[in-house]
């Protein structure tokens, strides 16, 4: 399997995505914003379409549009606390509709959009991997350096605000990190399934962990394991890698729930 | 004695609703231990949310002359579903005193340890918050507020849902904080029997301040501050 270059590239990208998605997802899940990943994923589709239209690298256009979409969600959510789901709905549908219109305008409606929506390990190129590795490592470094204030906000947002932490900037950073994760992951699990990889490993980890730090680290381990197992199973069983990876992650949630129930 | 905070003519309304608070004037000196009491819906929580900056007055002026504020909200609970240890919770309260980037330094770890010890939870420091009793959890949240070394500590109904023994333990803890650290404390409650003997001043809020003075001067009909007859 590893004799094939496209598999080596897929595993390389998968390792970055498997570690990064749950690390970012932890902060979304704990802020009860699990669906933000989905919303930004839909916007990323418009970014892919824009890339086709302008003939630019698709990862970078998806990244740019995802960041704008993510910040828009956070901007609306922060100003209208009770309108979080309305903000998501607006961004969801604008993203998908904008993507379809832009793809059509680019005359690319005949391209295989499935590979972006649900992932395709055949599509990772060497230059993709370089971008994914650089941005992924950068995002993990940012999370490591700002771990304490990010945690302070998810543990008690009002307390952090009273204490003088830059809560708005830290919340915006979280959605930017989510946007980066989604843009990097669309080749492996697809923009419609990446949110699952940000959320499911964190849910599984929280059932078996003993502290917040162990939840994040276990979540990253489960994410990595899910991607590696998903790609391997997909290769041998000729299955779509994105769907297979997410099903593996979903299975870990069931296993963790069972373990937690037995332990009680 | 220098002022810790001053409210001048503060009025607050949610949107276009009638004002929750009307023309509130209030001075609190440094190192004062003040109980803010009144019936449910009287505006106590709104008043402290204005003081800590979580709400902005519709009119009037609020002046805080303290560097750091510690805030324990009503029914405080961690905003996360993941397991959280006492030490992790208290460390989150230290974030305001440290540089934003990088790991916790030695001084900060010591401040977290001291805050945990001060509330008597050192043996439980590495236990999950969810495994502690209600009173212990409240003390953990007080430790979180203390970890930031605040000059003003604002506690909103800190004894709600905890037993009498835990209420007395929290009251004794606050008394120690005031005497040892000279901290200014605002204590919101609609039933503050446990701290009545410690506070030197009660502010009774019912849309406006209807009483402000020592507990001994409180008219008999108001001795139960949740009383609804003025």
Q: pLDDT per residue over B151-162, tens digit each?
A: 899 998 887 777
Which range, of A182-191, B39-48, B106-115, B218-227, averages the lowest pLDDT? Answer: B218-227
- Taking any CB pair shorter than 8 Å as contact, residues of chain A touching chain B are 26, 29-31, 145-146, 148-149, 151-152, 154-166, 202, 205-206, 209-215
Strand, coil or helix: A227: helix
pLDDT in tens, B171-218: 888 888 888 888 899 988 876 566 677 788 889 899 999 888 888 887
Where, residue-wise, is CATH 3.40.50.300 in chain B? 1-67+151-230
The CATH class that applies to domain B1-67+151-230 reads alpha beta
Q: Which of B82, B88, B144 sits opposite A206 (nearest CB)?
A: B82
Q: What pLDDT was estimated at residue B227?
A: 42
Q: What pLDDT was estimated at residue A89?
A: 81
User: Where does the pLDDT of residue B229 fall: very low under 50, low under 70, confident under 90, or very high at 90 and above?
Assistant: very low
Question: How far is the C-alpha of B228 from the C-alpha of B230, rounded, in Å?
Answer: 6
Q: What pLDDT was estimated at residue A150?
A: 93
B69 pairs with which residues across the strands? B152
Q: Work out the average pLDDT over B54-75.
A: 88
Share of chain B above pLDDT 70, in %: 90
Q: What pLDDT was estimated at residue A229?
A: 95
Question: How far is the C-alpha of A67 from the C-alpha of A78, rounded, in Å?
Answer: 16
Q: What pLDDT was estimated at residue A108?
A: 66
pLDDT in tens, B110-147: 999 999 998 888 898 999 988 888 888 888 998 998 89
Q: Which residues contact A20 (CB under 8 A, 6 or more apart)?
A: A136, A139, A140, A181, A184, A185
Work out the burial of residue B6: count CB atoms within 10 Å of its CB; fewer than 13 is exposed, 13-18 middle, 19 or more buried.
middle
DSSP letters along B132-195, please? S-HHHHHHHHHHHHHHT--SEEEEESTTTT--HHHHHHHHHHHHHHHHHH--EEEEE-S--HHH
Q: Determine how many CB atoms are found less than 10 A away from the CB of residue B40.
A: 9
pLDDT in tens, B5-20: 999 999 999 888 888 9
For A64, the enclosing helix (H) or strand (E) is: helix A58-79
User: Where does the pLDDT of residue B95 fall: very low under 50, low under 70, confident under 90, or very high at 90 and above?
Assistant: confident
Q: Work out the average pLDDT over B81-91.
A: 89
Question: How far is the C-alpha of A81 from the C-alpha of B24, rounded, in Å?
Answer: 27
Q: Which of A26, A156, A214 sits opposite B79 (nearest CB)?
A: A156
Question: Do residues A28 and A144 touch, judged by C-beta distance below 8 A?
Answer: no
Q: Determine how many CB atoms are found less than 10 A away from the CB of residue A233.
A: 16
C-beta atoms of A158 and B73 within 8 A: yes
User: Where does the pLDDT of residue B76 fall: very low under 50, low under 70, confident under 90, or very high at 90 and above?
Assistant: low
Q: What pLDDT was estimated at residue B79?
A: 64
- Nearest in space to A241 (alpha carbons), one of A250, A228, A223, A222: A228
Please check the confidence at residue B50 and state whether its pLDDT lies above 80.
yes
Q: What pLDDT was estimated at residue B25?
A: 92
- Note the Cα A115 to chain centre separation in Å: 16
C-beta atoms of B83 and A164 within 8 A: no
Q: In CATH, which of 1.10.3720.10, 3.40.50.450, 3.30.465.10, 1.10.3470.10 is domain A5-258?
A: 1.10.3470.10
Q: What pLDDT was estimated at residue A107?
A: 74
- Which residues on A lie below 8 Å from B130 (Cβ)? none
Please check the confidence at residue B225 and state whether its pLDDT lies above 60.
no
Question: Do residues A230 and A241 touch, judged by C-beta distance below 8 A?
Answer: yes
Higher-confidence position of B222 and B178: B178
Question: Do residues B162 and B170 touch, judged by C-beta distance below 8 A?
Answer: yes
Question: Do residues A44 and A142 touch, judged by C-beta distance below 8 A?
Answer: no
The residue ranges of chain A whose pLDDT is under 50 are none
State if pTM tops 0.90: no
Whole-angstrom CA distances from B86 to A158, A231, B37, B159 are 19, 39, 30, 18
pLDDT in tens, A218-243: 999 999 999 999 999 998 998 888 88
Q: Minimal Cα–Cα distance from A47 to chain B, Å? A: 32
Whole-angstrom CA distances from A260 to A199, A221, A223 are 18, 18, 19
Question: How far is the C-alpha of A183 from the C-alpha of A58, rounded, in Å?
Answer: 9
Q: What pLDDT was estimated at residue A194?
A: 85
Please check the confidence at residue B89 and state whether its pLDDT lies above 70.
yes
C-beta atoms of A31 and B79 within 8 A: yes
C-beta atoms of B69 and A162 within 8 A: yes
Enumerate the domain spans of chain A. Answer: 5-258
Q: What pLDDT was estimated at residue A82?
A: 60
Q: How many CA atoms lie within 13 A of A167 on its CB side?
A: 16
- Note the Cα A182 to chain centre separation in Å: 4
pLDDT in tens, A244-260: 999 999 999 999 999 98
């Amino acid at each position: 399997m590893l004799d094939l270059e496209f598999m080596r590239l897929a595993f390389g990208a998968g390792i970055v995505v498997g570690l990064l998605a749950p690390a970012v997802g932890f902060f979304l899940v704990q802020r009860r914003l699990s669906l933000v990943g989905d919303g930004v994923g839909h916007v990323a589709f418009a970014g892919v379409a824009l890339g086709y239209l302008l003939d630019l690298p698709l990862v970078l256009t998806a990244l740019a549009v995802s960041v704008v979409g993510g910040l828009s969600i956070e901007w609306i959510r922060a100003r209208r606390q009770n309108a979080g789901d309305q903000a998501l709905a607006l961004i969801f549908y604008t993203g998908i509709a904008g993507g379809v219109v832009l793809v059509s305008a680019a005359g690319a409606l005949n391209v295989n959009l499935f590979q972006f929506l649900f992932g395709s390990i055949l599509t990772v190129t060497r230059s993709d991997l370089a971008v994914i590795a650089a941005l992924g490592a950068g995002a993990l470094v940012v999370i490591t350096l700002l771990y304490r204030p990010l945690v302070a906000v998810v543990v008690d947002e009002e307390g952090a605000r009273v204490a003088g932490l830059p809560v708005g900037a830290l919340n915006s950073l979280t959605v930017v990190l989510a946007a980066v994760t989604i843009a990097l992951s669309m080749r492996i699990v697809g923009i419609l399934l990446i949110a699952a990889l940000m959320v499911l490993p964190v849910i599984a980890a929280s059932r078996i962990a003993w502290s917040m730090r162990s939840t994040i680290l276990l979540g990253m381990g489960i994410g990595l394991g899910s991607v590696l197992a998903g790609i391997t199973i997909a290769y041998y069983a000729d299955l779509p890698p994105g769907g297979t990876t997410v099903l593996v992650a979903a299975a870990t949630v069931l296993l963790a729930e069972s373990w937690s129930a037995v332990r009680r | 004695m220098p002022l810790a905070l001053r409210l001048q003519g503060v009025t607050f309304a949610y949107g276009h609703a009638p004002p929750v608070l009307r023309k509130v004037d209030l001075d609190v000196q440094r190192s004062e231990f003040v109980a803010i009491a009144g019936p449910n819906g009287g505006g106590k929580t709104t008043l402290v949310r204005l003081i800590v900056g979580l709400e902005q007055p519709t009119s009037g002026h609020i002046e805080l002359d303290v560097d750091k504020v510690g805030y324990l909200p009503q029914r405080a609970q961690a905003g996360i579903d993941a397991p959280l240890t006492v030490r992790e919770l208290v460390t989150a309260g230290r974030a305001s005193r440290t540089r934003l980037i990088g790991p916790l330094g030695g001084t900060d770890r010591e401040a977290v340890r001291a805050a945990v010890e001060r509330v008597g939870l050192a043996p439980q420091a590495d236990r999950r918050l969810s495994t502690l009793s209600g009173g212990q959890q409240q003390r953990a949240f007080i430790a979180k507020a203390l970890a930031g070394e605040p000059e003003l500590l604002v506690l909103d109904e800190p004894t709600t849902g905890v037993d009498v023994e835990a209420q007395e333990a929290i009251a004794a803890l606050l008394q120690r904080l005031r005497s040892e650290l000279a901290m200014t404390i605002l204590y919101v409650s609609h039933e503050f029997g446990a701290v009545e003997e410690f506070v030197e001043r009660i502010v009774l809020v019912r849309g406006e301040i209807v009483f402000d003075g020592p507990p001994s001067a409180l008219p008999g009909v108001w001795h139960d501050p949740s009383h609804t007859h003025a």
